[in-house]
Structure 1
Amino acid sequence: MNKSLGAELKDWIISIVIAIVLALFIRHFIVELYLVDGPSMQPTLLSHERLVVNKFIYHFRTPKKGEILVFQYPRDPSRDFIKRVIAIPGDTIEIKDGHVFVNNQLQNEPFILSQTRGDYPLTTIPDGHIFVMGDNRNNSEDSRFPDVGFVPFDLIKGKAVLVFWPLSNLHTLP
């Protein structure tokens, strides 16, 4: 039995509308794709790599130290930054003599290629905020600078989970 052309067209339109609504829902609430722009996360992430970001996870828990996440730049929420969580609420952070200390413990950061320049005074991370830094510490605008500062939870967009492009660099993130 053949469907009439009108019924078949209606089925196609309904299918397309459902697909668009589903895609928008997934992009808004579940995952989003991001482009790495700049050297601040080298060597972990390279400029022009593309990431899958889990936007769902932080609805159920807060960020953990060491996670790489995307957040809105506090001075211009239309810009997104990608950085690593170094300290969470209640932690203390200090940078001295090129070393990062969280809760007075020297951090083991094998992903850092060069010693961090500059010092940062002993500071406690306030509730509802995190302290983030790029892996390329000497070429990163991050929580050490007043324009970024402590990142409030409500500016966090999601956790970076996968580099998917270029295919030769395909890998999951810690």
Structure 2
Amino acid sequence: MKKKYPTLYTLLQFALIFLFGLFLRKFVLTPVEVLGTSMEPTYHESDRLWQTSLIQPKRFDIATFPSPRNGKRIVKRVVGLPGDTLRMENDQLYINDQKFTEPYLDEFKEALTDGMPLTADFTLATSAAGPETVVPEGKYFVLGDNRRVADDSRYFGFVDEEDIVGVVYFRYYPLNQLGIQ
């Protein structure tokens, strides 16, 4: 075919390259811009990230989904998976009655000077997810890292699995923080 129809062969090559590029852009290299301060100190306003929709979010992954408030794509940390119980007590996260450390919050906690916890006490039942006491199948419980200002599952409830657009895996801007997340 290459010798008999060189123009058609070239067009097919370009079409395949174009389709491969579309696949990468849609599922592997989807850009996301951080809006607001709810993920500080991990991410800041206008940080640029790449996400993939080819993997399911795991605990503590950063996921993107449309905000239940205005539909804009937002970035939050997945804390509760289907079947989990969650609570926050004295700034300590408990998942299925086990303590979990959140090292990504250490910088923020150390900077606090008012004697108040970074994260107010809550349970699933006392959050907007209530009266549920367990994260239902097909749902996730998400939190922003800047817990005092974050609008997250404590206030808008669970995030449906089908609403998760992708999982963040790389920051490409600002350049001084370039890298795998």
TM interval, shorter chain, is 0.7 to 0.9
- The reply to whether residue 136 of structure 1 matches residue 130 of structure 2 is no
Report what 1:3 is aligned to: none
Q: Distance in 2 between matches of 1:11 and 1:36?
A: 42
Deviations 1:35-82 (A, max 9, x none): 111111111112111101012123xxxx211111111223443x1110
CA RMSD of aligned residues (A): 2.3
Provide the aligned length of Structure 1 versus Structure 2. Answer: 159
Tell me how far 1:153 sits from its aligned partner.
0.4
Partner letter of residue 141 of structure 1? D
Question: Would you say the 8 A contact 2:78–2:140 is kept in 1?
Answer: yes
Report what 2:82 is aligned to: 89
| Structure 2 gap ranges (5+) | 1-5, 110-116, 125-132
| Structure 1 gap ranges (5+) | 1-6
Report what 2:64 is aligned to: 70
Tell me how far 1:24 sits from its aligned partner.
2.8
- The reply to whether residue 111 of structure 1 matches residue 121 of structure 2 is no
- The reply to whether residue 159 of structure 1 matches residue 167 of structure 2 is yes
Relative to the length of structure 1, the TM-score reads 0.79
Query: Which structure features the higher share of strand residues?
Result: 1
Tell me how far 1:21 sits from its aligned partner.
4.0
User: Structure 2 vs 1, CA of residues 50 and 119 (structure 1 numbering), >3 Å: closer, same or farther?
Assistant: same
Question: Would you say the 8 A contact 2:55–2:167 is kept in 1?
Answer: yes
Report what 1:124 is aligned to: 134
